[in-house]
């Protein structure tokens, strides 16, 4: 499942179109399969920026040049699991520095605070 939190259209022809569109999404993996999120997004033609295996090199290079960020823009910022005593344990952390810089420069900081109302889940 995924939910779009924010989107931006940049006036830069990174690929074959005159502009380039990017989105910040909340992803909810169904299982713990390796590379599940990366492969599912590639399958629907929305690869994760910085993904050297399943992504698009042109967009990865653009983010490295424009934002100085060469990392995979995928982060687990919240995880919930059942503690052995039966209570739910929720752990959260902000995205790493490079990812946070990209989020800030694209104007997506507000989307991280109010993630529930930006778009529908799929």
How does pLDDT run along the chain (122 residues), one tens digit per residue? 889 999 999 999 999 999 999 999 999 887 777 678 888 899 888 999 999 999 999 999 999 999 999 999 999 999 999 999 999 999 999 998 999 999 999 999 988 874 433 333 34
Q: Which residue has the tokens 């997506």?
A: 108
Residues 6+ apart with CB under 8 A from 115: 3, 5, 26
The CATH T-level fold of domain 2-117 is Pseudouridine synthase (3.30.2350)
pLDDT of residue 83: 95
* Distance in angstroms (rounded) separating the CA atoms of residues 43 and 99: 23
Supply 107's token pair: 């104007």
pLDDT of residue 119: 36
In 3-state terms, what secondary structure has residue 104? helix
Is the whole model's pTM more than 0.85, yes or no? no
pLDDT of residue 31: 78
């Amino acid at each position: 499942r995924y939910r779009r939190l924010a989107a931006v259209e940049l006036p830069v022809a990174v690929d074959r179109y005159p502009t380039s569109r990017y989105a910040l999404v909340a992803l909810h993996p169904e299982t713990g399969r390796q590379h599940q999120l990366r492969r599912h997004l590639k399958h629907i033609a929305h690869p994760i920026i910085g993904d050297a295996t399943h992504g698009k090199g042109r967009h990865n290079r653009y983010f490295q040049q424009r934002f100085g960020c060469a990392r995979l823009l995928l982060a687990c910022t919240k995880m919930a699991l059942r503690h052995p005593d039966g209570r739910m344990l929720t752990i959260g952390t902000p995205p790493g520095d490079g990812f946070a810089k990209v989020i800030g420069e694209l104007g997506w900081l507000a989307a991280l605070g109010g993630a529930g109302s930006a778009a529908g889940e799929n």
